[in-house]
Amino acid sequence: MTSCFNGGAGWPEPVVRVQHVSDTCGDTIPERYVKPPSERPCLSPAAASSGGVGGGGGGGPNIPVVDLSMLDVDATSRAVAAACREWGFFQAVNHGVRPELLRSGRAAWRGFFRQPAVVRERYANSPATYEGYGSRLGTAKGGPLDWGDYYFLHLLPASLKSHEKWPSLPSSLRGTTEEYGEEVLQLCRRVMRLLSSGLGLEAGRLQAAFGGEGGEGACLRVNLYPRCPQPELTLGVAGHSDPGGMTMLLVDDHVKGLQVRSPDGQWIIVDPVPDAFIVNVGDQIQVLSNASYKSVEHRVTVSAAEDRLSMAFFYNPRSDLPIAPMPELVGPGRPALYPEMTFDEYRVFIRQRGLAGKAQLQSLQANQTAAAAAAAGSSSTCS
């Protein structure tokens, strides 16, 4: 069974693939994957097999759907901005990425996860860069684990992209991923313009803060959530917000799994529109927009009946640029809520500690508020 482990490569303990756990654990998942009761997803028995939530799975409020093929750019911008102010999420339909590419992308990556373990393990990742085949985020020994394996790779900047680090099998994977990345990048740039206009700014302004077209970063994380005998006890990804700029998520059309924290604090399950992208704001756009757009907590449930594949395309600012609330959005009565920080610096946080709900941005905001209070000469009232 050693082929299912990669002992070392900078991890504090041997890494076990969730695919392997799923195949061998029988009816009971190992303790490391069991979440504390307050974090468990409360699935009804019927929903557990389809990945849905119990109690009102349909009908309630849900993330907006926005048609990106509307000719009225102002109306599109308003719809995108309203969704990102309120929910931090929307489903984009008629987004312009060719449906064949969505299908071939998913098929290529399913093909990778179906390769024998020895083939997959050639690409085992390490916590230094996370590039490659991985099963955990964060390096705390003995820490909780999520029920999912992933593959993480860079698309931009070009200096970080290396096909050698992408799987060579199935043979279609590199070409398909390259094409997929190019089309999704164009879509991200378009949504950036809509988001920028939605703030009352010139359409290229947000993009400029990212380092301009060609200056941005982009990476892809393909997640595989294997079948799980006790989906009510675990999560495929625990609650987190995305650290980067914006995420374009492509999910399986027929297996639900993504839950989003609604504006009133409830977990709602996203019912995927076939071939849509689920678009969400990440922490960097929350910072740049001075919290006009929300980077909202979300998590992933798993299913007893089927495995699930998702492809998260992360669109990020150039990693060495200082990111802070845009000056146009700061003024009297509207203080900057976050200190300046590069995405490289921010990522160090995440890579050591793993994803932790909204904790990272909240701690930055608390520090900023304390610093502003100190600068204003007021003494702390929380003694």
Q: Does residue 223 interact with ligand OGA by CB under 6 A? A: yes
| Residue-wise burial string across 12-25, b where 16 or more C-beta atoms lie within 10 A, e elsewhere | eeebbbbbbbbeee
Q: Report the residue number, 216 or 242, with the smaller CB distance to Ni ion.
A: 242
When binding is defined by CB under 6 A, the residue of 106, 154, 193, 298 that contacts ligand OGA is 298
| Residue-wise burial string across 205-214, b where 16 or more C-beta atoms lie within 10 A, e elsewhere | bbbebbbeee
When binding is defined by CB under 5 A, the residue of 121, 216, 242, 283 that contacts Ni ion is 242
Pair 138, 125: CB distance under 8 Å: no
Provide the minimum distance between the beta carbon of 242 and Ni ion in the complex, in angstroms, as a whole number.
Answer: 4
Q: Does residue 249 interact with ligand OGA by CB under 6 A? A: yes
Q: Among 46-54, 76-84, 210-218, 249-257, which window interacts with ligand OGA (CB under 6 A)?
A: 249-257
Q: Which segments of 50-97 are extended strands (E)? A: 65-67, 89-93
Provide the minimum distance between the beta carbon of 58 and ligand OGA in the complex, in angstroms, as a whole number.
Answer: 19
When binding is defined by CB under 6 A, the residue of 242, 283, 297, 307 that contacts ligand OGA is 242
Who's near 246: CB < 8 A, 6+ residues apart?
Answer: 188, 191, 192, 195, 279, 280, 281, 282, 285, 314, 315
Choose among 326, 328, 258: nearest CA to 286: 326
Q: Does residue 51 interact with ligand OGA by CB under 6 A? A: no
Q: Report the residue number, 221 or 294, with the smaller CB distance to ligand OGA.
A: 221
Choose among 124, 126, 121: nearest CA to 137: 126
Provide the minimum distance between the beta carbon of 42 and ligand OGA in the complex, in angstroms, as a whole number.
Answer: 18
**Residue 52's CB: how many other CB atoms inside 10 A?**
19
**Residue 67's CB: how many other CB atoms inside 10 A?**
13
Q: Report the residue number, 149 or 242, with the smaller CB distance to Ni ion.
A: 242
Q: Does residue 221 interact with ligand OGA by CB under 6 A? A: yes
Q: Among 109-117, 164-172, 238-246, 286-294, which window interacts with Ni ion (CB under 5 A)?
A: 238-246
* Integer Cα distance of 241 and 243 in angstroms: 6
Provide the minimum distance between the beta carbon of 321 and Ni ion in the complex, in angstroms, as a whole number.
Answer: 22
Q: Which does 105 bind (CB under 5 to 8 A by kind): ligand OGA, Ni ion, none?
A: none
State the amino acid at position 375 in one-letter form. A
When binding is defined by CB under 6 A, the residue of 43, 53, 219, 237 that contacts ligand OGA is 237
Cα Rg, the chain, nearest whole Å: 21
Who's near 123: CB < 8 A, 6+ residues apart?
Answer: 132, 133, 151, 165, 167
Provide the minimum distance between the beta carbon of 71 and ligand OGA in the complex, in angstroms, as a whole number.
Answer: 31
* Residues engaged in binding Ni ion (CB under 5 A): 242
* Residues engaged in binding ligand OGA (CB under 6 A): 221, 223, 237, 242, 249, 251, 257-258, 298, 300, 310, 312
